[in-house]
């Protein structure tokens, strides 16, 4: 009993020093910077390409609206109401002990994602460097076949090289370490508030130029053409997984960032704005990539290499192309780094508050694990790089487990907690900032989605894709 009291006093001390973001706009940029990342620029186009275009986008949008949005609002609710990390939050809200598992799952999933995310971020940084060095300039003077051959080889050596991919992976890890050590306001907030507007500008520039290419209309057709016959259970699961991944939900990120949201913030409004902006960014990136794919006769189904091959190939053939390649990979590096910040903050906040260690130590601990395990498992040339589990490399396995299993399951538990184990009045109080916002109707809609529709949809998609619904 006394021990518990002492623990609580200790926790309250941590609680008092707890930071928050400083304004509504800071909350918006921070949460959006988590959402916008490699998911939008690298995963979204490649998944749209391999899953047949418009129909996939349609399913994805339905998933975002009916599932991701209510899960995001639920995470914000849990975070701000408790003002704790993912594990401590459920304690603070007097959740049945079982729900603590949600917090631990979050810590595990964010780490798994970090392992492969930092690898892809490393590729992006290395492409930025190549572009700055002018490596892609000569592509423009080669024939299309020669250029394609060259760029495919460049990608293979970038990801398969002996030592360089590992070194590149360390660079984003290092940046993120420095920023996260600086803290919530001085680190995350400062970086995201200055970088997000630049990111938007860069995306718009690339998109406008891509849309002026000859194959633009074919690219747009591909994005808008909806062939319902391409919809399969595994495609729906992939779309749902992406809807979780892109909005950074189902891993406790939005619980953690939610715990830094100011008291006067309209969290439903913020979730809506983040969802909308994130979707716009994805579509804009799609509009930048697919016209290019069709103009130059590339395959939209190229998968993970799509971004890395198309962008240099295409832009090297137009005026000021090299500058554009630099811009594009710069924006991708920025987006990747900022999403990594939010991934790292989950285990870091957990270690600070639950294990009682200093921020700096927590960050260095997590980032060292990311570096070591990430390097060992992700790179084909490393000791564990060639091992396959269930026919998948560690890279694909971590991606599959986090996006297609852990995120939907954790998301489901989060929404069940809010829908079934939380007092309705608490939800109304928190989401209306103690009735200072006039948003009763939006809360009501949210509540219905969270209690009935979203959990049922997640469950159906999940069981169906496992083949359990016949």
Tokens matching residue 403? 């996006």
Residues 249-308 that bind ligand PHE (CB under 6 A): 251, 253
- State yes or no: residue 37 binds ligand PHE (CB under 6 A): yes
Stretch that binds ligand PHE, among 37-45, 130-138, 260-268, 462-470 (CB under 6 A): 37-45
User: Which residue of 82, 111, 169, 248 would you call a contact of ligand PHE, by CB under 6 A?
Assistant: 248
Q: How far is the CB of 231 from ligand PHE (least distance, A)?
A: 23
User: Which residue of 26, 27, 32, 35 would you call a contact of ligand PHE, by CB under 6 A?
Assistant: 35
CA atoms within 13 A of residue 356's CA, in its CB half-sphere:
7
Which has the closest alpha carbon to 420: 395, 447, 398, 443? 447
User: Which residue of 26, 27, 32, 38 would you call a contact of ligand PHE, by CB under 6 A?
Assistant: 38
How many residues at the interface with ligand PHE, by CB under 6 A? Answer: 15
Q: How far is the CB of 218 from ligand PHE (least distance, A)?
A: 26
Residue 435, classed as helix, strand or coil, is coil
Cα(404)–Cα(244) distance, integer angstroms = 9
Q: How far is the CB of 436 from ligand PHE (least distance, A)?
A: 30
- State yes or no: residue 34 binds ligand PHE (CB under 6 A): yes
Q: How far is the CB of 253 from ligand PHE (least distance, A)?
A: 4
Cβ atoms of residues 37 and 414 within 8 Å: no
User: Which residue of 47, 89, 105, 113 would you call a contact of ligand PHE, by CB under 6 A?
Assistant: 113
CA angle 131, 133, 138 (to 5 degrees): 70
Residues 302-361 that bind ligand PHE (CB under 6 A): 339, 342-343
Which has the closest alpha carbon to 207: 218, 220, 197, 194? 220
Place of tokens 């339905």: 62
Following DSSP, what letter does each residue of 362-376 receive, concatenated?
HHHHHHHHHHHHHHH
Give 388's strand partners: 393
Contacts of 403 (CB under 8 A, 6+ apart): 241, 242, 244, 245
Q: How far is the CB of 221 from ligand PHE (least distance, A)?
A: 26
Q: Toward ligand PHE, which CB reaches closer, 31 or 432?
A: 31
Q: Toward ligand PHE, which CB reaches closer, 251 or 298?
A: 251
Residues 217-246 that bind ligand PHE (CB under 6 A): 245-246
User: Which residue of 20, 31, 33, 40 would you call a contact of ligand PHE, by CB under 6 A?
Assistant: 40
Place of tokens 């973001």: 21
Q: CB nearest ligand PHE: which residue?
A: 39
CA atoms within 13 A of residue 167's CA, in its CB half-sphere:
7
Q: How far is the CB of 30 from ligand PHE (least distance, A)?
A: 12
Cα(298)–Cα(314) distance, integer angstroms = 10
Contacts of 430 (CB under 8 A, 6+ apart): 77, 80, 81, 267
User: Which residue of 20, 39, 274, 374 would you call a contact of ligand PHE, by CB under 6 A?
Assistant: 39
Q: Which residues bind ligand PHE (CB under 6 A)?
A: 34-35, 37-40, 113, 245-246, 248, 251, 253, 339, 342-343
């Amino acid at each position: 009993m006394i021990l518990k009291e002492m623990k609580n006093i200790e926790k309250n001390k941590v609680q008092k020093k707890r930071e928050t973001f400083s304004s509504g706009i800071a909350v918006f940029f921070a949460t959006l910077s988590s959402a916008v990342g490699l998911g939008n620029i690298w995963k979204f186009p490649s998944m749209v390409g391999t899953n047949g275009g418009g129909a996939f986008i349609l399913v994805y949008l339905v998933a975002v609206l009916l599932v991701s949005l209510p899960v995001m609002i639920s995470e914000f609710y849990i975070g701000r109401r408790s003002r704790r990390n993912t594990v401590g939050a459920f304690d603070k809200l007097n959740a049945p002990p079982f729900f603590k598992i949600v917090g631990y799952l979050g810590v595990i999933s964010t780490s798994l994602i970090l392992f492969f995310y930092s690898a892809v971020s490393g590729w992006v940084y290395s492409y930025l460097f190549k572009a700055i060095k002018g490596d892609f300039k000569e592509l423009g003077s080669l024939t299309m076949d020669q250029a394609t051959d060259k760029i495919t080889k460049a990608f293979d050596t970038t990801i398969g090289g002996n030592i360089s991919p590992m070194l590149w992976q360390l660079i984003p890890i290092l940046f993120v370490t420095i920023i996260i050590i600086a803290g919530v306001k001085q680190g995350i907030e400062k970086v995201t508030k200055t970088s997000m507007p630049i990111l938007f500008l860069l995306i718009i520039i690339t998109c406008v130029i891509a849309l002026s290419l000859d194959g633009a209309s074919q690219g747009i057709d591909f994005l808008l053409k909806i062939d319902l016959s391409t919809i399969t259970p595994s495609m729906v699961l992939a779309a749902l997984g992406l809807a979780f991944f892109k909005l950074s939900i189902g891993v406790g990120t939005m619980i953690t960032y939610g715990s830094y949201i100011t008291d006067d913030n309209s969290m439903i409004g913020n979730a809506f704005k983040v969802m909308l902006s994130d979707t716009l960014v994805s579509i804009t990136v799609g509009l930048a990539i697919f016209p290019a794919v069709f103009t130059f006769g590339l395959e939209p189904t190229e998968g993970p290499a799509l971004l890395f091959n198309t962008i240099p190939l295409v832009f090297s053939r137009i005026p000021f192309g090299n500058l554009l390649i630099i811009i594009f990979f710069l924006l991708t590096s920025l987006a990747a780094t900022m999403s990594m910040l939010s991934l790292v903050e989950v285990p870091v906040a957990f270690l600070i508050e639950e294990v009682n260690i200093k921020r700096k130590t927590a960050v260095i601990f997590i980032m060292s694990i990311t570096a070591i395990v990430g390097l060992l498992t992700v790179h084909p040339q490393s000791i564990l790089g060639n091992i396959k589990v269930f026919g998948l490399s560690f890279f694909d396995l971590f991606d599959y487990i986090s996006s297609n299993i852990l995120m939907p399951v954790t998301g489901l538990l989060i929404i069940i907690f809010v829908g079934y184990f939380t007092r309705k009045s608490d939800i109304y109080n928190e989401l209306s900032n103690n009735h200072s916002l006039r948003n009763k109707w939006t809360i009501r809609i949210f509540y219905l989605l969270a209690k009935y529709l979203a959990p049922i949809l997640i469950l159906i998609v999940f069981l169906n894709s496992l083949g359990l619904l016949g």
